[in-house]
Amino acid sequence: MTTVQKIKDIEDEMAKTQKNKATSAHLGILKSKLAKLRRELLTPTSSGGGAGVGFDVARTGIASVGFVGFPSVGKSSLMSGLTGTTSEVAAYEFTTLTTVPGTMNVHGAKVQILDLPGIIEGAKDGKGRGRQVIAVARSCNLLFLVLDVCKPLGDKKIIEDELEGFGIRLNKSPPNITFRKKDKGGINMTNTVPLNHLDFDMVRAILSEYKIHNADVAFRCDANEDDLIDVVEGNRIYIPAIYVLNKIDAISIQELDLLYRIPNSVPISARQWWNIDELIEVMWEKLDLVRVYTKPRGQQPDYSSPVVLRSHRCTVEDFCQSIHKDIIKQFKYAIVWGTSAKHSRGHKAGLAHRLEDEDVLCIVKK
């Protein structure tokens, strides 16, 4: 039996099993089995998995945004308009067959855009080029899930399931669970908040499915079995996503009003180039980048070309590293102006100081 068939069998069994107190541990075990099989699919082999020919492209820019969606929803139309790169647009499905890279400037930051082939239901299990597409998506800093407004909700669910099945978690942060394997002592479970979805038996059942019989598990969030499996599996990727609802030129104002209720969504028309400003604003927020303007001593700051950092690595040291590795050796102190500075005259800071968006920085050398 192939891995895909095994997955299908377990999914069928889960669908047949009623969810209640008596079956919850059994369902937890099935979910763990499913997670393990999906990991097998993810692991690159000679016959597939990973990114493939035409899918690996050179990475440029401070961040990359992948366009994922069903065929012909308008991914290439949007990507061509944003980047000025030509990615073929046509009325037939599967026009785009590989990763097509382009770059755009978002508020001073150079961002790479990756146009991808359309995916279909079953993509994660090897249908179409789905696995290659999703493998590229896993490596992006932000995803645009492009949907056709004429059928957004059904498509949204299918695409989310495809990505979830491949270990991608959208607009979510890692569950606050710490998990440590031990040599002996059994399973020791603690929680700082009430647990409404898990009890000791379920936790033990899930862990034993992973042949883990001795471990400390500490829950600091109201986790469910999926969260626990994610932590045990450990290869989950948490990526912010924007639902780009395209082709609003084809619907009425009333229908548009309803669409605005979908969280993390931006309705646009790539054809008419409507509401692209809002899309770029939301994109900028989700990218969570930090622009730092350099000020040479005794001169005005250079506002034309900021040094752009990612928000989890934005100390003065990260700033120096991103310019040149030798700057650290000559570094004496920095003077910072902006929201991270304690006073407006300029704040003397060391390498560990965390910078904020639009700070101005002057490096004083030894």
Ligand X SMILES: Nc1nc2c(ncn2[C@@H]2O[C@H](COP(=O)(O)OP(=O)(O)OP(=O)(O)O)[C@@H](O)[C@H]2O)c(=O)[nH]1
Q: Does 90 bind ligand X (CB under 6 A)?
A: yes
Choose one: 52-60, 75-83, 204-212, 232-240; the region binding ligand X (CB under 6 A): 75-83
Residue 363 binding: pick among ligand X, Mg ion, K ion, none (C-beta 5-8 Å cut-off by kind) = none
Choose one: 34-42, 72-80, 219-227, 266-274; the region binding Mg ion (CB under 5 A): 72-80
CA distance linking residue 326 with residue 212, whole number of Å: 47
Stretch 167-206: interaction string toward ligand X, x if CB under 6 A:
----------------------------------------
Q: Does 81 bind ligand X (CB under 6 A)?
A: no
Q: Does 72 bind K ion (CB under 5 A)?
A: yes
By the 8 A CB rule, do 159 and 70 touch?
Answer: yes
Q: Does 77 bind K ion (CB under 5 A)?
A: no
| Beta carbon of residue 270, minimum distance to K ion (angstroms, whole number) | 12
Of residues 99 through 128, those in contact with ligand X by CB under 6 A are 117-118
By the 8 A CB rule, do 197 and 222 touch?
Answer: yes
Q: Does 76 bind Mg ion (CB under 5 A)?
A: yes
Tell me, rounded to whole angstroms, the distance of Cα 6 from its chain centroid: 28
Using the rule CB under 5 A, which residue among 24, 96, 98, 112 binds Mg ion?
96
Q: Does 302 bind ligand X (CB under 6 A)?
A: no
For K ion, the closer of residues 72 and 98 by Cβ is 72
Residue position matching structure tokens 């700051």: 301
Using the rule CB under 6 A, which residue among 9, 11, 12, 93 binds ligand X?
93
**Residues pairing with 169 in the sheet:** 238
For Mg ion, the closer of residues 135 and 320 by Cβ is 135
B/e letters for 140-172, b = 16+ CB within 10 Å, e = fewer, are bbbbbbbbbbeebeebbebbeebbbbbbbbbee
Closest CA to 76 of 95, 56, 49, 53: 95
Residues 6 or more apart from 43 whose CB is under 8 A from it? Answer: 49
Residues 6 or more apart from 275 whose CB is under 8 A from it? Answer: 248, 266, 267, 268, 269
Q: Does 247 bind ligand X (CB under 6 A)?
A: yes
What would the two tokens of residue 171 be? 């607009």
CA distance linking residue 62 with residue 96, whole number of Å: 25
Q: Does 77 bind ligand X (CB under 6 A)?
A: yes
Amino acid (1-letter code) at residue 226? D
Q: Does 75 bind ligand X (CB under 6 A)?
A: yes
| Beta carbon of residue 286, minimum distance to Mg ion (angstroms, whole number) | 22
Closest CA to 96 of 79, 112, 118: 118
Site residues (CB under 5 A) for K ion? 72, 90, 95
Site residues (CB under 5 A) for Mg ion? 75-76, 95-96
Site residues (CB under 6 A) for ligand X? 69, 71-77, 89-91, 93-96, 117-118, 246-247, 249-250, 269-271
